[in-house]
Amino acid sequence: MTYSIGQLANAADTRVETIRYYERRGLMPEPPRANSGYRRYPRDAEQRLRFIRRAKRLGFTLKEIMALLRLQAGGERADIKAIAEDKLDEIETRLADLERMRVTLHDVNRRCSGRGPVTGCPIIETLNHEPKQHTQRDTDVCRDGNGL
């Protein structure tokens, strides 16, 4: 059994445009065409699309997915593991960056009363300047209404 592009899109829960894009990028091999000129996809095309979608959800780039697909077709497990380890390192770095952002935003929100003039607002000050060590005076000014 083969799929038309629309049938494949439905079966793999994706869009026709996505399949065409993946073909242009080399992630999906261009399928044979019927006498009518329409693409006819083999059954394994659905599995390949699902592989690509799962890899994207894990944060792999299309370039990395292409490498994984090539390795799947004939490569070494160690090479696949190296790609996954690199992705994990990248994700851990992003998580650390997100945690620093969360801590900074939590800190400036805690120091901002939400009342008073904008001048001296710790949120605006943080965005306008490089981070600095906050003193007790910064917190007191914010709380007593002379700043936000």
DSSP designation for 32: P
Q: Between vectors from CA 111 to CA 108 and to CA 115, what angle results, nearest 5°?
A: 110
What is the DSSP track for 115-126?
-S-STT-HHHHH
Residue 120 near residue 89, CB atoms below 8 Å: no
CA distance 39 to 64: 26
Cα of first residue to Cα of last residue in the chain, in angstroms, is: 67
Q: Between vectors from CA 141 to CA 136 and to CA 147, what angle results, nearest 5°?
A: 140
**pTM for the model:** 0.73
Close Cβ partners of 86 (under 8 Å, ≥ 6 residues apart):
none
Q: Is the pLDDT of residue 89 over 90?
A: yes
Q: How confident is the model over 114-134, as pLDDT tens digits? A: 998 999 898 999 899 875 555
Q: How confident is the model over 1-50, as pLDDT tens digits? A: 899 999 999 999 999 999 999 999 999 999 988 888 888 999 999 999 99
Tokens 């894009």 found at: 21
Q: Is the pLDDT of residue 136 over 90?
A: no
